[in-house]
Amino acid sequence: MRPLLQLVHLSDVHFVAAGANSLAQARRDARRLLWSLPSRFLGQDFCDQGMAAHDPKALTAFKDALRKIKLADPTFWSNTCLLATGDLSTLGDNASFNTAISWVRAVSAQVGVPLQPIIIYGNHDAWKGELPWFTPQADLDAHRSRRRSWHFANNWPLGPLYPTAASPNGLELHSLNTVLHGSISNTFACGNVGADRYWESAGLPDQSADLVAKAMLHGRPVVRLVFTHHPVHVPDVHPRDASKTTPPMVKRLLNARHVAAATGVPHPATGHPVVEVFLSGHTHYTFPEINALPSSLAVQLGADSPLGARQLQLIAGTLSQLGLSSQANEHSFQLLRLFEDAGPQLILERIVYERNGRSGPFEPAAGADGTLCAERIRLAP
């Protein structure tokens, strides 16, 4: 086994700074809005959970778990980085967001993670201290532009980041920005992948098309992992609770089929999709469910998936959002290890860490026999 890269994938921290006192008002505004809608299809539980803050104990537990991962396997540790896929804050206010992004970087430095963290923003991070519905669009636009200028100055699509050129199969990380900055679309947690910085200039390239066009310039076989905030594939039904469903136009990537089709075109060097794996957050639950990761990309997950053959969606749950309603999920993150076996074949191994009942330490998931559940999927032949 030859280690290539270890990603500690966390998402949806939902940090609320001590000085961000507008949380209660934001929750009241959200309730007032949602219950005024004719369909009333979301309800109070959805609203309250969406406004919940972070659990400080979960952040401490994550740091402790990271230290244990470091000690458990020094072989992989030298190629480790933190990957944070958005919604670092709940309200998007400067105090909360700046503290959250500083926390990710501080944890990485304090534990001694060798590679710099990869951080993108989510739909909540584009809020301006309240539910976007009640913020004038001009104020949202100014807030968005400042956030991009101060923290995310580069243009999407990002990448390749940390390419492992020594790998015979090749491995690259890229990112697509899914955040919509409109007051209505963001209120309902919708995403879209189009032209980045569309507010600055007309005629900018579609991110998906841009990524694919650049990939086609390279003739060597490469496996690409793309990280986003909104998943391309959001299951219609919660993997652990069939009573929880995702409405068609809420919390989804609105042009998911376009993104899947654009990135699913075969690359001449491999015959495989240009993008094979998407890493995302947003839903607050792990997907595929623990013990449900297929052993090969040839296996499709879900009839409701827009993804094509040999494409996979992995979702990290919420790291630390407090549970305020029946919509709450376990605190979790996923450890993704990429390595080559003797083939050489490129293998992705996933270990999900959870806090049982959103309390106590993060523990790695166990299989039916009580042993460590380390699921593996073959990415390249």
For residue 41, the model assigns a pLDDT of 47
- How many CB atoms within 10 Å of residue 247? 13
For residue 79, the model assigns a pLDDT of 92
Are 238 and 245 in contact by the 8 Å Cβ rule? The answer is yes
- Give the mean model confidence (pLDDT) for residues 109-125: 97
pLDDT of 169 > 70? The answer is no
pLDDT class for 29, splitting at 50, 70, 90?
A: low
Tell me the three state secondary structure of residue 82: strand
Angstrom CA distances, 45 to 51, 148, 174, 226, 341, stand at 10, 32, 35, 32, 46
Higher pLDDT, 335 or 45: 335
pLDDT of 32 > 90? The answer is no
Q: Which range has the worst mean pLDDT, 64-73, 186-195, 217-226? A: 217-226
**Beta-bridge mates of residue 266:** 273
Are 176 and 258 in contact by the 8 Å Cβ rule? The answer is no
The percent of residues in the chain predicted with pLDDT above 90, rounded, is 64
For residue 371, the model assigns a pLDDT of 87
If you count them, how many residues does the chain have?
381
For residue 39, the model assigns a pLDDT of 47
Average pLDDT, the chain: 88
For residue 71, the model assigns a pLDDT of 96
pLDDT digits (tens, 9 = 90+) for 133-167: 889 999 999 999 999 999 999 999 999 887 665 56
Higher pLDDT, 277 or 53: 277
pLDDT class for 316, splitting at 50, 70, 90?
A: very high
- Give the mean model confidence (pLDDT) for residues 169-186: 92
Higher pLDDT, 324 or 314: 314
Angstrom CA distances, 56 to 17, 114, 126, stand at 11, 25, 22
Q: Tell me the two tokens of residue 66.
A: 């990271």
Higher pLDDT, 160 or 32: 160
pLDDT of 37 > 70? The answer is no
For residue 197, the model assigns a pLDDT of 93
What does the DSSP assignment read for 199-264?
TT-TTPPBHHHHHHHHHTT--S--EEEEE-SS-S---SB-SS-TT-B--TTSSSBTTHHHHHHHHT
Higher pLDDT, 219 or 263: 263
- Give the mean model confidence (pLDDT) for residues 89-104: 95
Q: Domains along the chain?
A: 2-380 (3.60.21)
For residue 38, the model assigns a pLDDT of 47
pLDDT of 69 > 60? The answer is yes
pLDDT class for 103, splitting at 50, 70, 90?
A: very high
For residue 89, the model assigns a pLDDT of 96
Higher pLDDT, 218 or 375: 375
For residue 278, the model assigns a pLDDT of 98
